[in-house]
Amino acid sequence: MTDPVTELSDRLRDRILNALHLGLLHPGDRLPSIRALWREMGVDHRVVAQAYRTLEDEGLVEVRGRSGVYLAPQDQLGGELLAETARWMAGVLVEAWKRRMTVREVPELLRRCTTTRRIRCAVVESNEDQMTAYCHELSNDFGLDPVPVHISPIPLPRPDRSVEFHGVEEQLRAVDMVVTTSYHSRLVRKAAENVGIPAVTLTVNSEVVDVMQRRLRESGVTIVAAEAEFGNRMRAMYTDLLERPEQLRVVLADDPAGIAALDPREPVMLTRAARARLGEVTLPLLVPHSPTLSPQTAREILGLVIRLNVEASAQGARTMEGTADA
């Protein structure tokens, strides 16, 4: 089990590096104080302090006593590559070296494990906003071919439920794996089991959850979405924090008056599907569009990508051997 300091260090490192690469943070910028983080994350202040010390040892931050914590200067290689990225890549290559792999062999191994075959991945969801976000990330970040499978957002009467289940099962016969959310996981996992493909239940990036929870406690959140169902999903997810209806406000992308009435200074949660409908509209974002998926989900998906590619590579080798023998 991961200890609290390591877990928090990992979360803070990911948050800082994401903001750094998105241009939201720059060397010398002040980071949230120890007090602010323990209030936000609900962990002991000593754990926060030690996590920051861990990142300081890595050269990512500078702890300046009473002055606070700051993003450290980031050395560059070739004017592009951050020193942290170089350290990470060196770690990857050292692990390969331990397994008696040369630097030249690593790219070929990555190719065989990730691009031997195109993997078709069904995405089972009931609203356009989440469907669009998941399909984009699966294609852009993981190299999968997403196949949208739309289902009802509410449980159907038993006869219709059976029809929907068999419809999902039939569509899964044409793909290699399937992903869905916990709302539909029971149905999807049963259908995937019936057709013999792996299924992953998606979880949300903790950074997105942290931002939403903090804003709901402080002032409330405005969501700009393509469908009202996404707002219903968000209300269900954060129901424990909602004391007043106005804490979570949903404006639909096809509501021109609602969009025009938004305060241009107030950050909003803008879904990728809503942004596609709105076109060139500029709104300050509460959270970036990616990554939506959690690291745990990424590990599950990548594990399946590697397994399916390795199996395809081995099958190809066996086929070639059979052809040679013939």
> E-strand spans in the chain?
61-63, 69-71, 76-77, 81-82, 120-125, 145-150, 177-180, 199-201, 221-225, 248-252, 269-270
Between the CA atoms of 212, 213, 217 and 220, what dihedral angle is there, to the nearest 10 degrees?
A: 20
| Co-location of 10 and 34 in the same domain | yes
In-domain check, residue 217 = yes
Residues of the chain with pLDDT under 50: 76-81
Whole-number pLDDT of residue 324: 63
In-domain check, residue 285 = no
Give per-residue pLDDT as tens, 282-312.
Answer: 888 887 666 889 889 999 999 999 999 999 9
Q: How many CB atoms lie within 10 A of CB 83?
A: 16
Share the mean pLDDT of the chain. Answer: 88
Per the structure, the count of domains in the chain is 4
d(CA 165, CA 151): 9
Give per-residue pLDDT as tens, 25-56.
Answer: 788 889 988 888 887 777 888 998 999 998 88
Model pTM? Answer: 0.78
| Co-location of 169 and 300 in the same domain | yes
Structural domain span for residue 91:
81-113
In-domain check, residue 149 = yes
Whole-number pLDDT of residue 23: 66
- For residue 20, give the CATH number of its domain: 1.10.10.10
Task: Name the domain boundary from 113, 130, 162.
Answer: 113
In-domain check, residue 286 = no
Give per-residue pLDDT as tens, 177-210.
Answer: 999 999 899 999 999 999 999 999 999 888 888 8
